[in-house]
Structure formats: structure tokens, C-alpha cells
Structure 1
Amino acid sequence: MTAGQVRTPHSISLRKKLIFALIATCLIVGLTDLCVRLIPIPEQAGRAVGSRRFMEWLSHLSLDEKEPIPLYESDSERIWKLSPDRKLESFNFHFAPGLEKQKIEITINQNGYRGKPAQPDTDEMLTVLCLGDSNIFGYPLDDRDVFPQVLEDSLSSKGIQTVQVINAGTPGYTSEQGRIWFDQQFHEQQFDWLILSFINNDAWPQPESDLAVLARMSKKIDTSGFEFLLGQSGLVRWGRYLTRKEIPESEYVPRVPLPRYRENLHALIDLALARGAKVLVLDYCVYPEYQPYVQSLQAVAQQSNLPYIQVPPLVLQELETGTFREEFPEEISRIQARWGEEHLQSNPLLWLYAEMYPEHLNEAGTRWLSEIVSELILPAQDNPVVPQP
């Protein structure tokens, strides 16, 4: 450049301007998205089945006092399942303030259900498969007090020398989940009796039915595709949340509609009967608003000519006229230490139920019920009962 010449500004091509603008836009959007991802997205109010909040609530029902051992894990085929190979040292959460906090153990075997793994069925062995929800699982009881275990104890004490009662109960399960669970784990298992107990969770109103939740969870995502990457964006996820329709409780639906409930029950019963097994139905329903499900369960049992036990009315009868306090003194002493005479007098249901609002049987309740069930099972056996010495 010679003296007197004026430097002209260097012009930037349109192409470079567009590239710089695109880079700046990507940086701004990327940083914004990163910041937005740090903000947790609220879940729908309540404990919607299939949500993180529901899993947290379920897990807090059974906590290990020493270390955070998860009892449950999400499952795309059953919504959730029990984590295999777990042994929790927890306690019974239901007791009067200032009274005895009693320890319990919860053992989940390598196959993902409570108690001992099932053994192959033989001609000499009586095998009972208990399929159901938390009432079968044994919430909030110790391993030794759950219904399947005390039923096995009762049958053994009555002369059945080779017997196993399998605990296939999972807290919160519906007949929908139970049907899938049976196909996955017990389809090849031979058994002489099926004890079936699903009702309270099937009738439980939720934002979505179990089938809808399962359909959503089972969608296979292409983790290398654009849809997956888009779903990781904080901006996209918040956009979906803000445009999501909040479902009012007035529009909740049963987890399993009545027609599907009957279909699931018939399917499980037919599978058992086709194998030559006998079936017994247990009804633990204590909610008056669930009466249509009670009526359906009764009708299904009647159609297949099955023994049907409605637990709550029998509990009331036992409390009035029964001798359970004399029959189960060890269990009664634990109940008294947990609740005290004042609570037991004001709420007599606590003699046989675990909670203030009665739903799950306590250790005396399961022993009492096991005696009733074992008396039904024993006369129906083809083999003679050998008395114990």
C-alpha cells in the first residue's frame, strides 16, 4: 500500500456470515438446553403407576436399615419386579408410638420371588403355587410369617411330609402383571394347587390402565436414531411436559378394567385346570367401592366350581367367636408388644390385621388363614395323609 491510499474494510462473504450465525445459534441453544436439563421435570400429581414417584413410594414400604438395598426394579414387561438375590433387614413400620419396633427379614431368591426357590415337583411332593399381590408376598411381615410359609408349616404339621408352597406374590401386582409373571417364571413349574389372589390393585383407579402403561414402556427405542437424541433434549422434554394434559382424578380408570380382569382370571384358572391342578381363590378386598370386582371374582370362582374364601367377613367372625389368641400365643405376644392393650381394645382388627386401616393380615392373621386353607387342601389330596410321629 502506497502513501495516501485508504485501507478498505475486509468484507466477509455471505457464506461465512451464515456459518458464524449458525455456530452462535447452536452455542446459545446448546447452553440453554444444558441449563434446562438441570431443572427436574415435575411428575404428575399422586403416585401414578409406572412413574418414578410410584417406584420410590413402593421401595420405601420395605427399607433396609443398614444399607440402601433396592427391593424393586423397573421392568418393561411387568412395569416393575422384585430384584433377585436380595436379603433386607428391615422392620415392621406399623406399631404404636413408643412401643416395640420389630425387625423383619425379607429374602428374595435368585429367581426373583420371596422365599426358597421352587424344587422340581415329584409324585411324592405336594406343590402349592401362591400367585398374587402384597397379601401373598407378606407385607409387612418377616419371612417366617408370610402366608405361603405358614401354609407350608401347617400342611407339614398335618402329616404332609414332602410339601413346598411357592410365594409368587409381588406387592402392587394386578392380574395383568400376574399373568405375565406366571408365563415368564412358572409356565414349566408343575404344581398340585394354585392359590389365586388378585383384586385390590386391579380395581385401583390410576391415570392409565396397566395395559396402557405396559404399551408405553415396551416401545423399543432406536438409540442411534434422531428420535432418541431428540428425547434427550431438555428443551424438548420441558416442551412435552408443558403441553401435557394433566388427568384429573375424576377421569382415572381402574388399573385393569372389569372385562380384562375376568379374562385374566379365567386364563390363569384354565391353565391350572388343564394341568390337572386344583385352584383356590382368596379375596382380601376391604374397599366398599371395589364391590364390582368382588362380584366378578365370586362369579369367576362359581363358574369354575372353585373354593372361594372371602377373608374380611371371616376375620370379623373370628374376632367375635374364635380362639386364635389361644392357638397362636407367640404371635399374639408380638402383636401386644407392638400395639399395646389400649390400641388393641380401641381397634380390635389389629389382632389379625397389620395396619390401622385393615388390608394386610398380620402374623396371627396368616397363621389363622393357613389353618383354614390347609383343611381345604388336605381332604382333596389323592394320597393318604401319613401322620407324623
Structure 2
Amino acid sequence: MSALSDLHATLDPSRRSWVESANDPTSDFSIQNLPFGIFSDALNSTRRVGVAIGDRIVDLAVLEGAGLLTVPSSAAGGNVFVRDALNDFIALGRDAWRSVRIQLSGLLAHDHATLRDDAELRSRALIRQADAQLHLPVQIPGYTDFYSSKEHATHVGSMFRDPKNALLPNWSEMPIGYNGRASSVVVSGTPVRRPNGQLKLPDQERPVFGACRKLDIELETGFVIGQGNALGEPVACENAEAHIFGMVLLNDWSARDIQQWEYVPLGPFNAKTFATTISPWIVTLDALEPFRVAQPVQEPEPLAYLRHDGKHGFDIALEVTLRPQQSKQPTTISRTNFKHMYWTMAQQLAHHTVSGCNTRVGDLMGSGTISGPTADSCGSLLESTWNGKNPLELKEGGVRAFIEDGDELTLAGWCQGDGYRVGFGTCVGQILPALK
């Protein structure tokens, strides 16, 4: 069989694993998924590369040491899977990513006995997710956040400008974005402290300093650069997806009141720098291949450097829940889908590099808030409460206009196949009070 046919076999919806939990049709981590991350556990505090399968993590270093997994050595030397970030593995290139995927899919298939029937090796190679700690999966040299949902941009433009001219003239011509702070990207589960900053109150002539009063989420996905480009050498739109390793869930926490005062003329600054949370598992584009859909029709037709043939949207269901600190029941506050995104990941990367800007392995690109066409598909509280004017009712009583201290926000996302899922797990953050 050719490498491409072997790769195609890993996507077979009928494929099942001897890891029984992976065959649950509601499990995010089916054998068709095989996302990559970094983990450690109580018996081994060394951070290393793992792949999620059902409720387990496959320790790739153990498999390589047992001779069941082969991969080229990294430029840094030694076992590429004994690392505190995925960067060295990613830098090996797409052929290496695909080779590891194909090998793992075979080893974990229900009819493959080598690992399945070796109890001693299996006990070392498979760790329960419940017993593991998940870490930031990549070292992130740079972080860029886009603004690519037409529904979100229209809502915000209508709220703060003329509803008849909600979109600025440049929005339909290029993927709007800004460079954020890579240093404050954290992994799911990391508490987030409410930021302080300048606030301009309507009845005050000058700003005051204090804690953010309008703390919000932005339901996003992010993609991780797998192959960089040299300074001065743009990435062509039709080739851009070959430069992407995979996707994560992303919550770009936002201080709306700080942002409203500071964003003119140069855009977000302190309102966004305090934290961005990502999910710990990176789902590869290969795993998402069966879920391609056509992107929305783009009018006017983009300039030539932003054009690509084929389908470049993805059918990824997304939802957000909010759970107050003393509550047991979370409230679902948004349900939407990545397929609504106006600008594609390929277009975002092509535009990002068209000036000659270089990218590096591990760079993170946020999609921008993902909102859909219905009232319950808004990707931020700013939209769903219309800047706090229409608070949301919570399951166990109470309301929310914006996020309060102690609230826990959880993002989830998955692609639904025929009897299986390719999911992202969750992206969780709880808000701590501002420093006094």
C-alpha cells in the first residue's frame, strides 16, 4: 500500500480499537482521532509526548523504546518523544507526523495483537488520562489573533457603530488580525486572574484604574504552525494547509471595558494580554479531513493571493458552558460551528505572510470569535447579552451579563462521524479575583 492509502485507512469510520473506551461513540478520542499532547504522571514526572485514545494516553517514548514505533531523530538529538513540548517532533515534517499516525493506528486497531496482548508493555505504554497531568503542548514563539467570523464582526459593529455599516470596508477584503502575547498563553485548567486596567466610565471625564467589570470569553479555535516560512517568502494560499500541524480550542479572554477605552487607534492591548487558554490536545488536519465542508461564499471575490480551490471549512461543533463557583450544574451559553467562519485558516496564513512575515514551528493563530447565525450561537457574552443589556439566566438561578469571580468557563468541540467522534477535549478556565 502507498503512504496515502495507509493514511486513508486511519480514517476508516469502521475501524475500532482494542482500547474499548475509544469505541464509545461519544468519546472525543476515537482511533480515527489520535491527537498529540504533552503529559506527565505521578509515577514519572518527566514531560513527554503522548497521544489520546479513549480514556488513555499512549506514551510514545515507551513505544519507541520497545521498537514498536520508528521516527527520525530530531535535530536536537535523542528521543524526540522525551520533550516538554511538541516542537522538535513537529519540526520533523508532515511525513513524520503521518508515519507516526499510521503506525499508531495499526498498533491500536482491535485486531493487532502486538501491544494488545503484551500486558507488561501495555501497562507501561498506556496511562489513564485521569492519572496524568496535561501541559502546554507547544512552545509558542508567536501568537496572532484574527477576527474572521462575519456574524461576530457584524454584531460588534452594530453594537458600537452604525448597524447599517457594521462591517468596515476592509473586513470583506482581508482577514483582519493583530499580534497578541505568546507569553500569556496557558493550558486548559490554569486559573485566570481578573485583570486591572484603565476604565472610562460614562459619567467621568477621565479614566479610573480598577478591576475589569466586563470580563468575557471569546470562543475560538487556533491552529499551530508545523512548517515555518523564511523571512521575505510568503506562503501561497493553495499551499498553506501543508504548513499547519493541527488545531486546538482557544479562549481569548477579553476585558471589554478596558478594550473599549484603549483600542483606538491601535487595537487591543491590555484587554487581551492577561491570558489566552488553549486545550491540551492538538488535533491534526489529517484527522479532520473527513469533515471538510465548503467555506461561506465570499463577496467580493478575494484578491488573487487569497484564493484557493476546494473545500477549506470544517464541520466542528462547538459549545460553551458557564458554572458559578457554588453551582453543580453548568449552563450552556453558546452552541455554534466552525463551518460558519468567513475567512479560512489557509487565507489567514496566506495573508499573515504576504508581507514577507516569517512564521516558526509552534506559532499559534487564533481564529477569532466564532459566532453563528442564531441567537444562541454567539461566541461571546458581549454579543449574547448585547453588552450586558440582556443578561442570561443560569440553570440553578441567577443571571450573567459578564463573567463573575469564581465562574468556570468550559469550551468543547468535536466532529461527529458515523459512530465515532474526532474531538478536542475541553478548554477550561476559572476566574480568580483581581489583585488589590
The structure with more radius of gyration: 1
TM range (shorter): under 0.3
TM-score normalised by the chain length of structure 2: 0.24
Higher strand share: 2
TM-score normalised by the chain length of structure 1: 0.27
Structure with the bigger RCO (C-alpha within 8 Å, sep 6+) is 2
